Amino acid sequence: MIDVDDLIELVRNYNPRTNEELLRKAYAYGRRMHAGQYRHSGEEYFTHPVAVAAILTEQRLDDATIVTALLHDTIEDTKSTYAEIAREFGEEIAELVDGVTKLTNLQLNSTETKQAENFRKLFMAMSKDLRVILVKLADRLHNMRTIRSLPPEKQVRKARETMDIFAPLAGRMGMQWMREELEDLAFRVLNPEARASIIRRFITLQRETGDVIHKITNDIRRELEKAGVEADVFGRAKKPYSIWRKMEEKEQSFSRLSDIYGFRIITRTEADCYCVLGAIHRRWRAVPGRFKDYISQPKSNGYRSIHTTVSGRDGKRVEVQIRTREMHEVAESGVAAHWAYRDGERVENPFAVDPAKWIASLTERFESAEDHDEFLEHVKLEMYSDQVFCFTPKGDVVKLPRGATPLDYAYAIHTRIGDSCVGAKVDGIRVPLWTRLKNGQSVEIITAEGQRPQASWIDIVVTGRAKAAIRRSLREEDRERFIKLGRELARVAFDHIGKKATDKALATAAKQLGLKDASELLARLGSAELTAREVVQALYPELAEGGEEIDMSRAVVGLQPDQTFKRASCCQPVPGERIVGISYRGQGVVIHAIDCEALAEFEDQPRRWVDLQWHSGTHAPVHSVSLEMTIRNDAGVLGRICTLIGEQRANISDLHFLDRKPDFYRLIIDVDLRDVEHLHAVMLALEAESDVAQVRRYRDLGRKP
């Protein structure tokens, strides 16, 4: 648990004028009130309010909000009262704590009518002071981060509520980072197999393509240097849930999904944003229909940025966001930017919206709603701004993604209706099947017996459900033709690596890929839903990768013929990382990573520095790297982690424990690896394991070279 001095330091980092006495008083009061209470994990309950307060310091919020976080459960869970908090901490904080308590008591996952009334209460509570919902969102974020200690049925209920309500609400408020983390944490509970599958695919992709993010980031930086624009460039892979949603919507396998990388460019001025856009579009081809200028047309929550998608390195689609530093601060904090502090003063960010005006614009139309259903519809139209809601002839609501067509609507009703669709009426008027539906429209589907889906429908629909149904129907119709073609493709691919595409081999590959049987595999191969390379890799990954291993004695380029080398124990560099050598008389050369802090002591000895680089190619898995891990203390956990490392074709050379607690272990594992990509694959696999709380590369400056 963070102690009071550390918490105060977190606040003082952005607000040197913080009321330290108030924070100490609130910390002591909260700890006293929650004394004797424990969480499901067995920790003291007060660790939770402190963690919520720490999350809010990341948003640089004012003292009143931090104090509210420390006290947010006192009225509900302890003998504390509104009057006592008002007397001890003032009316403002008492009102905020009371507001959070009322939000906590709302049963937001109940029936539609009850849910509508609770939404109304939620927005009314927000309208008094938006800081109430900021504390509640931070509360939910920490609860989701620690959800594993709850009973399974409660985990699912909380995760569904988070996915349906709190994640979209965070996004609506402009706190996109929180929305993504909430969605991913809920996704881990609701569909852990899918999330793990995506992470495994990422590992495979990294092994095949290398560090794409680093390469594209450098490409962008070179273009900005040519354009004479000073800017910061950051790249990242999109979150597993974001990728899963895209796969579902586009009905594509991971390997065929292109825009899974996102890049952010932070400029000095607004004019530079448009200079950067020009430089990006001159260098790479823009993807039509994927450009949005939120600088000239900001979102209602203050969000400003330019979005564009381009075909980058190796034809991969990458999404690029361009904005200034001030715009970025609002993009990270959303409406919360209004309360942000820096150096003890409220930040005057010209793009931060007035929360009172924002919440007023959001609630004024809800106040005029005559019944619960109308109110709930308004709420969802606002919160799920990327969706449309259409009506059946009987008045039922059908939820669809923006850009959906009458065909998507038909398949949303029932697969049989979609398959037999021959036409549609929107608001009573006959329209083409490719018409884009709008909010509030009434849709009627015209069907005919004997009608079958057409191949052109794939390009008309946008929902995963419709695309899957159409492909399934087309696949069944052409199944025999696809199986014949798939068998020939498999034969050629297996011949290429000196193997035979036997029935047993195909059946084993099908099982490895999660398919029903060999016929299903061949049908998908013939219809281009699977590639021959994927089939070969499922059985022979080492043959699919290819490449002769580089002998350790010639792993480094740049040494004199008579020089020997060894890796520095402090930073443990591996192939793929930038390196430099330090020569020792009679001991050869010691290789350090270029960012190793130990190099500072050699700055005044330039003659000892040797310019080196790793030999390109496939290295032997002999480079030991230390990983520091925090894992759950439970039966079989350590064994599963060792197995997981083995599955990544990495060998454990040493293991020792740093700390043993009733609920967790902290240990260091030495793993023998090929290169930096192998390291990333192992760490990614470990991070995907639910029993691993933390994993990081361990570097010890105290180790001798």
Q: Which of 43, 76, 293, 488 is catalytic?
A: 76
- Residues 274 and 70: their CA atoms lie apart, in Å, by 44
Residue at token pair 């919160």 = 383
Catalytic residue among 43, 77, 184, 373: 77
Residue listed under structure tokens 């760490």:
683
d(CA 662, CA 665): 8
Separation of alpha carbons 141 and 158, rounded Å: 11
Q: What is the DSSP string of 635-676?
A: TTHHHHHHHHHHHTT-EEEEEEEEEE-SSEEEEEEEEEESSH
3-state secondary structure of 36: coil
Task: Decide if 77 is catalytic.
Answer: yes
The answer to whether residues 393 and 444 touch, using CB atoms and an 8 Å cutoff, is: yes
CA angle 438, 440, 446 (to 5 degrees): 75
Buried b (16+ CB within 10 A) or exposed e, 251-263: beebeebbbbbbb
Burial of 393 (0-12, 13-18, 19+ CB in 10 A): exposed
Q: Where are the alpha helices (DSSP H) in 572-621?
A: none
Interior angle at CA 424, CA 421 and CA 426, nearest 5: 155
Contact 640, 689 (CB under 8 A): yes
Handedness of CA 612, 617, 620, 624 (dihedral sign): positive
The rounded distance, in Å, linking the Cα atoms of 462 and 309 is 19
- CA dist 29 to 2, 73, 293, Å? 15, 12, 48
Sheet of strand 609-611: strand arrangement = 565-567, 588-593, 579-584, 609-611
DSSP, res 548: P
Sign of CA dihedral 504, 505, 507, 508: positive
Cβ–Cβ under 8 Å, residues 386 and 402: yes
User: 579 forms bridges with which residues in the sheet?
Assistant: 593
**How far is it, in rounded angstroms, from Cα 581 to Cα 101?**
60
SS3 content of the chain, % helix, strand, coil (to 5): 50, 20, 30
Active site residues: 76-77
